[in-house]
Amino acid sequence: MSSVINARALLSLAEEARQASYSPYSNITVGAALLTAEGRVYKGANIENASYTPTVCAERVAFFKAISEGERDFLAIAIAGGEKDKPSKADFPPCGVCRQVMAEFCNQDFYVIWGNGEKITKKTLAEILPDGFDKNSM
The answer to whether residue 69 is catalytic is no
CA distance 132 to 100: 8
Residues forming the site for ligand THU (CB under 6 A): 23, 26, 28, 30, 46, 48, 55, 57-59, 94-95, 98
* Catalytic option among 16, 48, 59, 118: 59
The side-by-side arrangement of strands in the sheet containing 120-124 is: 41-45, 28-36, 74-83, 111-115, 120-124
Question: In the complex, what is the shortest distance from the CB of residue 108 to ligand THU, in angstroms, rounded to a whole number?
Answer: 20
Which of helix, strand or coil describes residue 44? strand
CB nearer to ligand THU: pick between 58 and 75: 58
Residue 84 or 138 with smaller CB distance to ligand THU? 84
Q: Which is nearer to ligand THU, 3 or 111 (CB)?
A: 111
CB of 54 to ligand THU, least distance (A): 11
Question: What are the residue numbers of the active site?
Answer: 59
